[in-house]
Amino acid sequence: MRWIKVIIAFVGLLAPAERAMAQADDALAYETVEPSRIKVGESATIQVTSFGRLKDITLPTIPGLVFGEMRRSEGFEFLNGTPIPATFVRIRVTAQFPGVFTIPGLTPASQSIGLEVVSGDEPNPYAWRSQMPAPPPVVPASLPKGVQLQVGGAAFVHLTVPTRAVYVGESVPVEIQLGLRPGIVTSVNGLPTLKSSDFTLNNLSKQPERREQAIEGSTFVVLTWHSALAAVKPGDFSLSAETPLTAKISTLSSTDRAVASRLAWPLLQSMYSGIAPKDITIGSFPSELKVLPLPTEGQPKDFGGAVGEFQVSSDISPASAAVGDPLTLRLHISGTGNFDRVDSTMFDHLDHWKTYPARSSFTPSDAVGYQGEKVFEQPLIAAQPGEQSIPGLAFSYFNPNTRRYERAQTPSIKVTIAASLASGSLTALTSAQGLNGILTMGSTHGLRPDHPPPQKSVRELRPLYFQAPFLAIPTTLALILAGSWFAVRPNAARATANAAERVLAQLDAAAQAGDSSSFFQTAKKTLLQSFAARWQMPADQITFADLKARLGTAGEEVERLFALAEEARYSDYEPAATDFQRWLQLIRGQLAGETQ
């Protein structure tokens, strides 16, 4: 039989020293690497052992590895008790980034070796020691039904899909197994992919599970990936997965390989020595999958494509606030399904509330995102005091288990809103209304009246300094007060100017950092304080009419700035650098008017 010839050839390699020395130029050689698994930045040692004369070694060039010869020595190697002259060369190899590397033989007679490089303490699931005897099998197993060994019996791929029919857009868990024979398959050159453009693999785990199994009398390294599969159109499909790898392809018969695998690792390696590794792609046995279209009957108008089983709940914080204060409404959607299609706008409009766009975040509870919780958060601002009721939120989805559309509803939420301390002020109005970025000038609802109705007689409204008791104030007192004012005014103006420069520096720093919320909030507060001091009136009593009457056309720009202060606080408004500079110029001009 042919395998007997293989054994005879292997025994011939172990002949006495005279036969080994007969071929000086083609001396036998082998290489080892210790350790065969290192971290990035660490070094391993390659030892080349050659029986006979050894010419100069050319160090290989491999991206990610740095080689350097350490020393060369001569001695003896014992084979079957016979000393054979040998040359030993030690080479240091240093890793620069993680991966599984195949180092080609450094002599014409030696074979390639493998080196595993990892970035941390976690084991590298792609690595196996091709230069060491395989460890005893831990779990005996058989090939899955319909799966056949490929690459001369050294590898297989298996795709596991659901046995039931699935729906378009539905995410379903799938599993891909890749089995490899150490020493024959030298590397895995990429993640598994589907041989179909009608499906997507979502969140394919980059770190597969790794285990060793005895399959048909041989030790295999089995890598398992978990993912979620989704179909883009209905129909009947045959799915298969494929994986690129590098392997030494043998021309021996299956009988010879079976006998060699039962003998020993050195014999198996001798059968594959001298065979150059080749890049190939292997595929799995086709798996049948039926994809159904989503029914049109009973489909809700707000259905967004979510397919799965979901539960919903909602909450708000804080439970009480004042008019103009922000609250956060949350919608929680948890369960299993295609969370990438789970969406909710929450409230586009809500009576007596100012609403802002909702934001979402997803927290998976498995490796592929098939299970988890998606949370939507929406800022709300109450426009009127009292006990308010926020309606419940609804979410529609298709349940593949019940095969019908379902609608989940949250209960309404009660919240207590107190009157604002700044009720009727410009701040309260812009907080409650927002005015979509532009303040409405025609309405004065909630503002202080510009001309309050008279409540007294004309005589009672006459200023005190025009009434008789005050006409007798001595002229000398007026002169003293006037002199004191002229003495203090320069120092007050200087202090005001210094304060304005400090605020402008803060605003410029916020603009440089792109911090729109801090920029507009600081600008609004500073201008209100400036106007209050200039016009001798409380800041929370300044009205739109005051801004227009006292500032003219600049008043409209100031009103726009105050509205943007609320937009930047509760939305994603991000002005450009030129916009920041325009607002800085406006603020600088208004503050300069105070210091003049």
| Lowest mean pLDDT, pick from 8-22, 47-61, 117-131 | 8-22
308-418 has which fold?
Immunoglobulin-like (2.60.40)
Which DSSP symbol is given to 197? S
Domains 2-118 and 308-418 equal at CATH topology level? yes
Q: Is the peptide bond before 318 cis (omega within 30 degrees of 0)?
A: yes
Ramachandran category for residue 346: left, alpha or beta (phi over 0 → left; psi -120 to 50 → alpha): left
Residue 152 has pLDDT above 60, yes or no: yes
Q: Is the peptide bond before 452 cis (omega within 30 degrees of 0)?
A: no
Strand partners, 407: 396
User: Which one is predicted more confidently, 426 or 573?
Assistant: 573
Average confidence (pLDDT) over 222-231: 90
Per-residue pLDDT at 26: 46
Residues 91-126 pLDDT 10s? 999 988 888 888 888 887 778 888 888 876 555 444
Residues 337-390 pLDDT 10s? 999 999 998 998 888 898 888 999 999 998 888 999 999 999 999 888 999 889
Task: Identify the CATH assignment for 2-118 out of 2.60.40.10, 3.40.309.10, 2.40.50.140, 2.30.29.30.
Answer: 2.60.40.10
Residue 571 has pLDDT above 50, yes or no: yes
Radius of gyration of the chain (CA): 40
User: What is the number of alpha carbons within 13 Å of residue 276 lying toward its C-beta?
Assistant: 3
Residues 512-536 pLDDT 10s? 888 888 888 888 888 888 888 888 8
Per-residue pLDDT at 360: 93
Per-residue pLDDT at 11: 44
Per-residue pLDDT at 247: 85
Per-residue pLDDT at 48: 86
Per-residue pLDDT at 325: 85
Domain boundaries along the sequence of the chain: 2-118, 139-292, 308-418, 474-595
Per-residue pLDDT at 404: 94
The secondary structure of 361-374 as a DSSP string is EEEESSSSSSEEEE
User: Which one is predicted more confidently, 228 or 139?
Assistant: 228
Query: Which residue in the block uniquely carries the two structure tokens 């909450």?
Result: 315
Average pLDDT over the chain reads 76
Name the band, by pLDDT with cuts 50, 70 and 90, for residue 261.
low
Of all residues in the chain, what percent carry a pLDDT higher than 70? 70
- pTM, whole model, 2 decimals? 0.51
Residue 478 has pLDDT above 80, yes or no: no
Residue 442 has pLDDT above 60, yes or no: no
Per-residue pLDDT at 236: 93
Asked if 338 and 170 touch (Cβ cutoff 8 Å), the reply is: yes
Name the band, by pLDDT with cuts 50, 70 and 90, for residue 460.
very low
Can you point out the beta strands (E) in 307-429? 308-317, 320-322, 326-337, 353-355, 359-364, 371-382, 386-390, 394-399, 404-409, 413-418
Strand partners, 320: 416
Per-residue pLDDT at 447: 38
Of all residues in the chain, what percent carry a pLDDT higher than 90? 21
Residue 202 has pLDDT above 50, yes or no: yes
Per-residue pLDDT at 178: 92
Residue 6 has pLDDT above 50, yes or no: no
| Lowest mean pLDDT, pick from 23-27, 41-45, 167-171, 362-366 | 23-27
Average confidence (pLDDT) over 314-332: 90
- Helical H segments across 159-290, by residue range: 254-263, 265-272
Residue 13 has pLDDT above 60, yes or no: no
Per-residue pLDDT at 453: 47
Name the band, by pLDDT with cuts 50, 70 and 90, for residue 316.
very high
Residue 490 has pLDDT above 70, yes or no: no
Name the band, by pLDDT with cuts 50, 70 and 90, for residue 276.
low
Residue 80 has pLDDT above 80, yes or no: no
Residue 459 has pLDDT above 50, yes or no: no
